[in-house]
Structure 1
Amino acid sequence: MLSFTTKDALKVAISFVISIVLSLYFGWEKPYWAAVTIVVLASNETYGQSLKVARERLMGTLAGAIIAIILIAFFSQDRLLFIGIYLILAAIATYMAFDPKHGYAYRMSFIVCTMITAVGSFDDFTSFSMIILRLQETLLGIVVYSLVYRFVWPNSTENYFFTLLDKVLLELKTYCIQLNDAISIEDGQKLVEKLAHTQQQIAKMEMLLDLPLSGSYRLSNQLKKWQSCTIASYEIAQKLNHFAVQDPKQETTTKVTSNDLDEIQRKLALLQEGVKNDERPMGQLSLTKSWHDLTNLSPMESSRNRLINAMMSFIIIGCCFGAWIYIPIMGSYMFPLLSSILAVSIMTMPKGLIKPAATVTFNTSVIILIEYVFLMPYFTELWQLCLFYFINIFAIWRICSTPALALYKLLGGNFVVILTMSALNLTPSYSIETPLNTLIMLFLIFGIISFFENLSKPLYK
């Protein structure tokens, strides 16, 4: 019997290979775009989340293409004006990337705009061809991913939601038992930490119910009921947290009275009964919060921090453009392209990722380059290329299945494509210079971003 992680790794590898084979069959020049789409979609926890990301990715691709056309049409003749407007767009994309609903679409629109303006070389025909190709590859990746994940060992949003719900209810019941008597301050602190983790799980439940629920019959047809369950779980966790908070003037936490505990246990019992019985309504739960209130469960970046991140993207990309113009950096347009994409992507992520990202880049690139130099030049058949990508993607997803290695999974999947992209051309080529230059540029950009990120740390709250 295959484990969940093995099944998931197989699905990613199958989708990855199919997207490459179909791209080459259709004669498309950049099959790695479809493959990267598979990697991005597969990095989400559920099929519903992937569908949301797919929709945002498509919206961002369309928006980025339109912005690129406007930039090329009106500003391509004036270098300083083009760069100035481009930097403003980078700042706007960084600020809007923190939007809880469409943040990914804003970031993707800037990335697509960057790729089209850079690779298109300001030529109208080339840029238009790039736009069409990008849309084709993105759609192909989405369709392949959807078909494979829908019919091969499907793992629906519904299954994940009810697994989380059962886990949350069990934890809340355990906490009620622990609070039956007064507990020490140390135990109270531990309980507060556990409740914080439980509230994170409830935040995930809220997020899941806001995802596309196609194929999730119970969730889509009883949405209000499961929203009520999520709200009730959060209210119970809040009450338990109130009683677990330590009182510094006493040796124990605030003692829960029998009435308080009875009320919490009664609400929890009604909740558990409602979950077991689909026909049982949730009107007796006496909720004090609305569904809108739960959107605040997920931590939101403050406006001040968002503005600082936007400003840092503006400065980082501006410095990289200056270095590219006045210093002879190898790689033609690749340096400003990579610096723009990495600056906006990293500034919209949690701080402190530069060092882990650099470590992941080095570790994965060494293995991939060894394969690229000593193995791939001997490939003469398509099935050999497919087997190479299948084994690598399967190994990455299977070995890096734990949350602690999520960065290896995401970056490793991308680097398998980026460092070997010349092998995916309609006429394959194997030159070590291109991947080595790419790696040198990546580490140079990491250094620049790290410098400005450390410089801006005192500004954040």
Structure 2
Amino acid sequence: MAIKVAASLALTIFLALSFGWDKPYWGAVTVIVMATTESYGHAIQKVSHRLFGTVIGAVLGFTLISCFGQQRELFFLSVLSLGAISSYMSARSANGYVYKMAFIVAIIVSLAGGLSEGYSFQLAVIRIQETLLGAVCFSLVFSLLWPESNAARVSRKQLAVQSKEAIASKREGVFRAIKFIFITIVSWALWIYLSIPDGFMFPLLAATLGVSMVEFSSKLMNKMLGLIYLWSAIILLEYVFILPMLETGWQLAAFYFINCFVIWRLFYRPEHLVVRMLGGQFLVLMTMTAQYLTPVYDINSPLQMLLFLSLVLITVKMVSQLVEELLQHRLCNSD
């Protein structure tokens, strides 16, 4: 498994650079997401949901820009509404991942493009290209290298049954929606009143992480923060001392292969899923400037991203803890 995941990641980055695409990390993140599922069948289902959500999110992003690009208050209310719906449906629908992906892509298309229709269209096209590339590379490698037996594959009927069993209660859906609303309000208030730099990057991270983290309890956030700082320290050292020495695409692909292999080989147990997921995504995202067609090595970029992530995750933890305590208090009073 470690070899297959590492080969998928390295192949995706190498091919993206060979095609002249400037954001290989989106394809690489697709590989990481597929690799952290339970089986190859789950991975294929997840990538189909990811692609479907990406297309819907691109349309939603253009709609937000067209309707509210010059009306910031209405844009913010639209983000709150869409995020709350996505958070609710992530608990209540068997296709909850589609809702989350649609919202995340809509935010990326609209905010990363600076609310500009022209650049946002270009981002949407690149996003779809990279997602497809990651899915194709993952499927190709897993089909050719030690393919799963028919007995190990999961049928669509079994996947549908498991998805229905995973649907949470209506209360959990409302709980997630409330958490998202408060996380977004607090994060955007920090962005406005603290004058956080780098344009829309902080509210973009807050919205995407907010909808992704609402399903986790506040207790898990402490472990996540510890893992983030651990991975960040290792990756930053490599970013400073190793990556600037790599000059060709195959050398960069080899770098990601070795790191991804180590992560999946050391943390292979089912209970290590979060460790693998965070390690893989941080490996890709904190070194994203090295994946540009013209690489940029500036330690300020990954440090700033680490700061933004820390602020957002601390906000998520505090809001989640507050909402959980209020809900627990309400349940006790009702009893």
Structure 1 partner of 2:276: 409
Specify the SS of the correspondent of 2:77.
Answer: helix
For the aligned residue pairs, the C-alpha RMSD in angstroms reads: 1.8
Q: How many residues align?
A: 328
Q: Structure 1 residue aligned with 2:27, among 30, 34, 37?
A: 34
Structure 2 partner of 1:80: 73
1:386 and 1:301, CA in 2 relative to 1: closer, same or farther beyond 3 A? same
Structure 2 partner of 1:24: 17
**Which amino acid in the other structure matches residue 365 of structure 1?**
S
Distance 1:156 1:59 in 2: 28
Structure 1 partner of 2:192: 325
Distance 1:386 1:117 in 2: 30
TM-score (norm: length of structure 1): 0.68
Structure 1 partner of 2:310: 443
Distance 2:33 2:6 in 1: 13
Distance 2:61 2:141 in 1: 33
Structure 1 partner of 2:124: 131
Cα deviation per residue 1:202-233 (whole Å; 9 max; x = unaligned)?
A: xxxxx874339xxxxxxxxxxxxxxxxxxxxx
- Equivalent runs, 1:149-298 vs 2, <5 Å: 149-156=142-149, 158-159=151-152, 209-211=157-159, 298=165
Specify the SS of the correspondent of 1:97.
Answer: helix
Q: Note if contact 2:92-2:169 (Cα within 8 Å) is conserved in structure 1.
A: no
Shift of 1:99: 3.4
Q: Note if contact 1:360-1:407 (Cα within 8 Å) is conserved in structure 2.
A: no
Q: Note if contact 1:98-1:301 (Cα within 8 Å) is conserved in structure 2.
A: yes
Distance 1:344 1:295 in 2: 19
Shift of 1:404: 2.3
Distance 1:295 1:85 in 2: 29
**Which amino acid in the other structure matches residue 256 of structure 2?**
Y
1:118 equivalent to 2:66? Answer no
Stretches of structure 1 that go unaligned for 5 or more consecutive residues are: 1-7, 162-206, 213-291
1:421 equivalent to 2:288? Answer yes
Q: Note if contact 1:48-1:157 (Cα within 8 Å) is conserved in structure 2.
A: no
Structure 1 partner of 2:102: 109
**Which amino acid in the other structure matches residue 85 of structure 1?**
S
Shift of 1:57: 0.3
Structure 1 partner of 2:90: 97
1:63 equivalent to 2:93? Answer no
Q: Note if contact 1:64-1:113 (Cα within 8 Å) is conserved in structure 2.
A: yes
**Which amino acid in the other structure matches residue 151 of structure 1?**
L
Distance 2:206 2:241 in 1: 30
**Which amino acid in the other structure matches residue 74 of structure 1?**
C
Specify the SS of the correspondent of 2:151.
Answer: helix
Q: Note if contact 1:19-1:35 (Cα within 8 Å) is conserved in structure 2.
A: yes
Distance 2:9 2:100 in 1: 23
Q: Structure 1 residue aligned with 2:254, among 380, 387, 397?
A: 387
Q: Structure 2 residue aligned with 1:9, among 2, 9, 12?
A: 2
Structure 2 partner of 1:310: 177
1:88 and 1:442, CA in 2 relative to 1: closer, same or farther beyond 3 A? same
Bigger radius of gyration: 1
1:152 and 1:295, CA in 2 relative to 1: closer, same or farther beyond 3 A? closer
Specify the SS of the correspondent of 1:158.
Answer: coil
Q: Identity of counterpart residues, as a percentage?
A: 38
Cα deviation per residue 1:302-337 (whole Å; 9 max; x = unaligned)?
A: 212211210110111111112111212133222111
Q: Note if contact 1:46-1:156 (Cα within 8 Å) is conserved in structure 2.
A: no
Specify the SS of the correspondent of 1:355.
Answer: helix
Shift of 1:11: 0.5
Cα deviation per residue 1:267-306 (whole Å; 9 max; x = unaligned)?
A: xxxxxxxxxxxxxxxxxxxxxxxxx8x877x354221221
1:32 and 1:433, CA in 2 relative to 1: closer, same or farther beyond 3 A? same
Distance 1:299 1:417 in 2: 29
Shift of 1:156: 4.4
Distance 2:163 2:112 in 1: 40
1:305 and 1:34, CA in 2 relative to 1: closer, same or farther beyond 3 A? same
Shift of 1:348: 2.4
1:295 and 1:63, CA in 2 relative to 1: closer, same or farther beyond 3 A? closer
Distance 2:52 2:125 in 1: 14
Q: Note if contact 1:346-1:353 (Cα within 8 Å) is conserved in structure 2.
A: no
Runs of 4+ in 1 over 4 A off after TM superposition: none
Distance 2:47 2:131 in 1: 9
**Which amino acid in the other structure matches residue 211 of structure 1?**
L
Distance 1:309 1:159 in 2: 34
1:373 equivalent to 2:240? Answer yes
Shift of 1:159: 2.1
Larger RCO: 1 or 2 (CA < 8 Å, sep 6+):
2
Distance 1:308 1:396 in 2: 33
Q: Note if contact 2:9-2:28 (Cα within 8 Å) is conserved in structure 1.
A: yes
Distance 1:403 1:24 in 2: 33
